[in-house]
Structures are given as structure tokens and as C-alpha cells.
């Protein structure tokens, strides 16, 4: 399920300032299955111990990181380049959401082409000259009143979308810890028993309201996608309560 | 476009350890349009200056944060509760991806119900007893070989999905800086001119290859979704090169 290293886009950090952010970027990359990191003119040089301290085990990515003096040399062997850009201005360039960019890079990598995604320095982001080297811009849909993303957060969102672009995880499911969901027949048998206990206790009187009361109870039980194990527990609960009622010798 | 505060789910940090992470969580919440923060038994007490230092301006969220002694009291006024859980085990519970959970919470908030999303402490995540108070689990699709997410990263992904669940941003578009995309007629006029210049220079000989060469050139120009401004520039380039060729007095 994990994409092979050769099939994931290259993350290019342009003039990153803090080594800690390079480490947290590597961690985010590992979370989302991105393995190739390039650094353009990191402010404090490279390598930096502080990066390893924040990478939370994503050491292999840091150890394989490549350093370049400028943007063109970092991109020279790439076929397609995306640049993250919160507020694109004064340029004519295709723009993608993070999701569409992740889908596009997956398609591009799938054709055997090398693809890079550039992220700018912490304070100011990419400069116009950096962005001119990209063929496509990426803008994340986020709260326009608070667009400022931490560098590793920006990488995390792209990495998450990259992983999500192929993971076959169903959006919704019930985890049942190995016990099967009960059939409607098993649920019916439980409801029959519950209703007969409630009849015995007098809870379902008067008779003219009985059908409605039973139906309303049923709505709740049908909704819950109950498992066989839970039905067994519910049978036990009914037994216990009925025995208690009989022991106390009163019908409620 | 920004959802009103009353219409966003509550982020519940259960026993958070580092105040810095509470601050970066607030920043991530602001990025994604989440405004309600609750803290269950923060390890170092509350408030903590260190949280404000990492919140990057999301102070209003920290100032409005509510503190609770335990999970049930933090959830008492909520109608639906989601719990983030990387490896759900030993329970029967509906499971959602981050995307589906964000869609679900939006639907639930849209019905005027109060919805909470729980995140566990940094080191160990939520305990089984915490998760028992949730009605739904959330698991992010991420690299199974490296699932450990920083707390603020986990909140960031949910906040990003929450925002994305309604933003009407088109996945793909061309930004053109106000200049219109050229019609095919304008492109045709340019290509006609280019071809006649190339005919004059002899570039399109021999005649039997001419049609193919023109068609191949056309493929490239048609692909680019050129703007009127760029076509004007290209006309200028052709003029300049032709004049240069004529000045030099040779046909290539």
C-alpha cells in the first residue's frame, strides 16, 4: 500500500530558516508517504542536529536530503513543478487545490516523470522569481482570515492529500471487533422477547397505544446496527431485569 | 464564507501535555475555521504563556478556551462526539476517515446540534475509557509505517477537512491576472503569421513535411491555454526575430 520512494513527489524547501521545521517537515512527509527532500540554501547550513531532534524517527528522509544552492539547480531534473502559494498575484499560471495537486502529482509520477512541490521560507513564503520556475501553483482552501500556516503544517496537508489520493479506505464503516452484525431475524427474536416481557410487566398498556409504542421502540433498535455480541448482552440485561422484577414481586 | 463560530465543532484536547501544542492547535483551528477549544485536565494547568507564544495570532481561541476536570463534563452539553484514534481495537463503533468525519460534523452542526472532536495526549493518545464516551471514531488515512502525528498536525488535518467540506473552490483553474484567455481565432491569427514567417525563412521545407510540421507546432500552442496578453508578447517575439533575421540578411 505504501508508494515506493521512486513514485512520490520531491518536497523542495526553499531557503528554510529553522532546522526544527526541516525535522517536523520530514516527520509530516513520512506520515503521508513522501520520501524525497531537497533543501535550497538552508539559512543555517546543513546538516543540523536540531532537525533530527524534531523528526520523530523520520531520520531516513533527513539523511537522504539533498542540498542545492538555488531553485533552478534543485529543479533541473524534474519534469513538473508545483509551488505552494497562498495569495497568487501578478501571474498567469494554473492553480490547484491541495487535493487536485495531489491527484495531479500522482498521475504525473504514474507516468514515470519526476515531480517536485516547492514550499517557501517560514516568514515570507516563495518569492515571485521562485514561483516563475513552477508550472502550476497550489493554494489550500483555508480560512482567509487566518491563512498563515506553519511550514510543516503546509507540508502535512499536501502529504496527507497525497496519501489519501490512493488509499482505498472506505469513508465510513462500522468496526465490530470481529463479532458479526446481527441479522434482522436475530434482532426480531430479541424484540419479540422484549415485547413479551413488557407485556407481562404491563408497560405496553393501554392496548390502543401498544402498536405505536412497539413501533417507536423498534425505530431505535433498528437504527443501531447491533452486533450479535451486543444482542447477547441485551438478552442478558432483559433476563436480569425480568428476574429482578419477579423477585421483587411487582410488575414494574 | 467563514462559518460562524456557533456552527463549528468543538475541539477537545484530552490531558494535553505541552502548552506549546495547545498554542499550535489554536493556530491550526484558526486556519481551518474552528473556534471552540476545550481542555480536559491540561498537565501543566491553564492558562500558560507558552501557548500564546505559539498560537501565531489565534489568541481569541485560547482566551475563550474552557477547562474541564474530566471527559464526561467536557462532553456533557454535546450531542455527538467523535474521537480520533489511529488504531481502533476491542470496540464496536462506527469509524470515519477525516474527510467523512468533517462532512458528518458539518451535517450535524447544520441541524443545530453541538458536536465535539476529541484528541488524546501527545504521548499515548486517547485511552479506551475516553473513547467509550464517543459515538464515532476517526482514523486518518496515513502511512501505516509512520502513523505518529504531532497533536497540532492531527488537529490541522481535521480543521483543513472541515474547511474543505464547504469551500466552493474549484479544484483546478487558470489564474490569468485579469487578462482574458485568447479565443481560438486570435490563436489562429498568430499561428498563421508564425507559419508565414517560417515559410519565408525556409524552416518549413521540404513541402511534403510542411503539413506535419505545422500540425505539430499547433499541438503545442493549442495545449497552453494562452492569454491575449501572452499572444501579444508572442507576436512581439516573432516580429523581433523576423526583423533580426532580415537585418542579418539571411533566411534562417
> What is the predicted pLDDT for the residue at A5?
52
Verify whether the Cβ–Cβ distance B143 to A2 is below 8 Å: yes
Which strands make up the sheet holding B36-40, listed edge to edge?
A172-175, B93-96, B136-138, B80-84, B115-119, B10-14, B36-40, B66-68
What's the mean pLDDT in A2-15?
A: 80
CB of A166 within 8 Å of any CB in chain B?
no
The pLDDT of residue B219 is above 70: yes
> What is the predicted pLDDT for the residue at A100?
96
- Distances, alpha carbon B139 to alpha carbons A68, A185, B14, B126, in Å: 37, 32, 17, 13
> What is the predicted pLDDT for the residue at B29?
97
> What is the predicted pLDDT for the residue at A133?
93
> What is the predicted pLDDT for the residue at A2?
47
> What is the predicted pLDDT for the residue at A1?
38
> What is the predicted pLDDT for the residue at B250?
56
The pLDDT of residue A3 is above 70: no
ipTM: 0.85
> What is the predicted pLDDT for the residue at A251?
52
The pLDDT of residue A51 is above 70: yes
The pLDDT of residue B156 is above 70: yes
> What is the predicted pLDDT for the residue at A59?
96
pLDDT band at A4 (very low <50, low <70, confident <90, very high): low
Verify whether the Cβ–Cβ distance B31 to A142 is below 8 Å: yes
* Residues A222-232: b if buried by 16+ CB within 10 A, e if exposed: eeeebbebbbe
Residues in A 82-111 with any Cβ partner in B closer than 8 A: 88-100
B88-101 tens-digit pLDDT: 778 889 999 999 99
CB-based contact A118:A174 (threshold 8 Å)? no
> What is the predicted pLDDT for the residue at B112?
86
A36 Cα to chain B: minimum distance (Å): 15
Residues of B in contact with A160 (CB under 8 A): 98, 140-142, 157, 160
> What is the predicted pLDDT for the residue at B94?
92
> What is the predicted pLDDT for the residue at A153?
96
Q: Across the interface, which of B56, B97, B169 has its CB nearest the CB of A148?
A: B56
Verify whether the Cβ–Cβ distance B31 to A148 is below 8 Å: yes
Mutate to test the interface with B, among A57, A165, A169 (most CBs of B within 10 A): A169
CB-based contact B10:B40 (threshold 8 Å)? no
Q: Cell 513538473 sits at which residue?
A: A80
CB-based contact A117:A156 (threshold 8 Å)? no
Verify whether the Cβ–Cβ distance A150 to B179 is below 8 Å: no
- At B2, list the grid cell: 467563514
Mutate to test the interface with A, among B149, B156, B179 (most CBs of A within 10 A): B156
What is the DSSP pairing of strand B136-138 with strand B36-40?
unpaired
CB-based contact A99:B186 (threshold 8 Å)? no
B179-202 tens-digit pLDDT: 899 999 999 999 999 999 999 888
Q: What is the mean pLDDT of chain A?
A: 90
Residues of A in contact with B82 (CB under 8 A): none
> What is the predicted pLDDT for the residue at A55?
96
Q: What is the mean pLDDT of chain B?
A: 90
> What is the predicted pLDDT for the residue at B7?
78
The percentage of chain A sitting over the pLDDT mark of 70, rounded to a whole number, equals: 94
Q: Across the interface, which of B89, B146, B160 has its CB nearest the CB of A157?
A: B160
A132-167 tens-digit pLDDT: 999 999 999 999 999 889 999 999 999 999 999 988
pLDDT band at A250 (very low <50, low <70, confident <90, very high): low
Verify whether the Cβ–Cβ distance A175 to B137 is below 8 Å: yes
Verify whether the Cβ–Cβ distance B169 to A58 is below 8 Å: no
Q: Across the interface, which of B31, B93, B144 has its CB nearest the CB of A143?
A: B31
> What is the predicted pLDDT for the residue at B4?
56
Bridge-partner residues for B119, per DSSP?
A: B13
pLDDT band at A242 (very low <50, low <70, confident <90, very high): confident
What's the mean pLDDT in B242-248?
A: 72
CB-based contact B63:B48 (threshold 8 Å)? no
Angle at A8 between CA A6 and CA A13, to 5 degrees: 115
Q: Across the interface, which of A89, A96, A157 has its CB nearest the CB of B172?
A: A96
* More confidently predicted of A251 and B106: B106
Q: Give me the DSSP letters along chain B.
A: -PPPGGGSPEEEEES---HHHHHHHHHHHHHTT--EEEEES-TT-S--HHHHHHSTT-HHHHHT-EEESSHHHHHTT-SEEEEE-SS--S--EEEE-HHHHHHHHHHHHHTT--EEEEE--TTT---HHHHTT-SEEE-----TTS----HHHHHHHHHHHHHHTT----SEEEE-TTPPBPPHHHHHHHHHHHHHHHHHHTTT-SHHHHHHHHHHHHHHHHHT--BHHHHHHHHHHHHHHHHHHHHHT---
- At B155, list the grid cell: 488537529
Q: Across the interface, which of B98, B156, B174 has its CB nearest the CB of A94?
A: B174
pLDDT band at A195 (very low <50, low <70, confident <90, very high): very high
Is 3.40.50.620 the CATH classification of the domain at A5-164? no
Q: How far apart are CA B77 and CA B116, in angstroms?
A: 10
Residues in A 191-230 with any Cβ partner in B closer than 8 A: 227, 229-230
What's the mean pLDDT in B150-154?
A: 95
CB of B140 within 8 Å of any CB in chain A?
yes
A234 Cα to chain B: minimum distance (Å): 15
Question: What is the residue extent of each domain of chain B?
Answer: 5-164, 184-248
Angle at B172 between CA B166 and CA B175, to 5 degrees: 110
CB of B1 within 8 Å of any CB in chain A?
yes
pLDDT band at B164 (very low <50, low <70, confident <90, very high): very high
pLDDT band at B167 (very low <50, low <70, confident <90, very high): confident
> What is the predicted pLDDT for the residue at A101?
96
B112-124 tens-digit pLDDT: 889 999 999 998 8
> What is the predicted pLDDT for the residue at B225?
86
Residues of A in contact with B27 (CB under 8 A): 146, 148, 150
Amino acid at each position: 500500500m505504501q508508494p515506493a520512494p521512486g513514485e512520490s513527489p520531491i518536497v523542495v524547501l526553499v531557503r528554510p530558516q529553522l532546522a526544527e521545521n526541516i525535522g517536523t517537515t520530514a516527520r509530516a512527509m513520512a506520515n503521508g508517504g513522501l520520501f524525497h527532500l531537497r533543501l535550497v540554501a538552508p539559512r543555517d547550513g546543513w546538516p543540523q542536529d536540531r532537525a533530527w531532534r524534531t523528526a520523530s524517527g523520520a531520520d531516513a528522509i533527513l539523511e537522504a536530503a539533498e542540498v542545492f544552492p538555488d531553485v533552478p539547480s534543485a529543479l533541473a531534473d524534474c519534469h513538473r513543478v508545483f509551488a505552494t502559494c497562498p495569495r497568487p498575484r501578478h501571474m498567469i499560471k494554473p492553480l490547484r487545490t491541495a487535493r487536485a495537486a495531489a491527484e495531479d502529482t500522482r498521475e504525473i509520477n504514474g507516468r514515470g516523470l519526476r515531480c517536485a512541490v516547492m514550499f517557501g521560507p517560514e516568514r515570507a513564503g516563495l518569492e515571485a522569481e521562485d514561483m516563475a520556475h513552477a508550472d502550476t501553483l497550489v493554494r489550500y482552501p483555508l480560512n482567509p482570515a487566518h491563512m498563515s500556516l506553519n511550514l510543516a503544517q503546509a507540508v502535512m496537508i499536501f502529504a496527507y492529500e497525497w496519501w489519501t489520493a490512493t488509499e482505498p479506505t472506505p469513508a465510513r464503516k462500522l468496526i465490530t471487533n470481529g463479532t458479526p452484525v446481527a441479522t434482522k431475524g436475530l434482532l426480531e427474536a430479541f424484540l419479540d422477547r422484549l415485547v413479551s416481557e413488557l407485556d407481562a410487566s404491563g408497560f405496553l398498556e393501554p392496548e390502543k397505544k401498544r402498536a405505536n409504542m412497539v413501533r417507536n421502540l423498534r425505530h431505535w433498535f433498528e437504527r443501531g446496527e447491533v452486533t450479535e455480541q451486543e444482542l447477547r448482552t441485551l438478552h442478558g440485561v432483559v433476563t436480569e431485569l425480568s428476574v429482578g422484577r419477579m423477585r421483587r414481586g411487582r410488575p414494574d
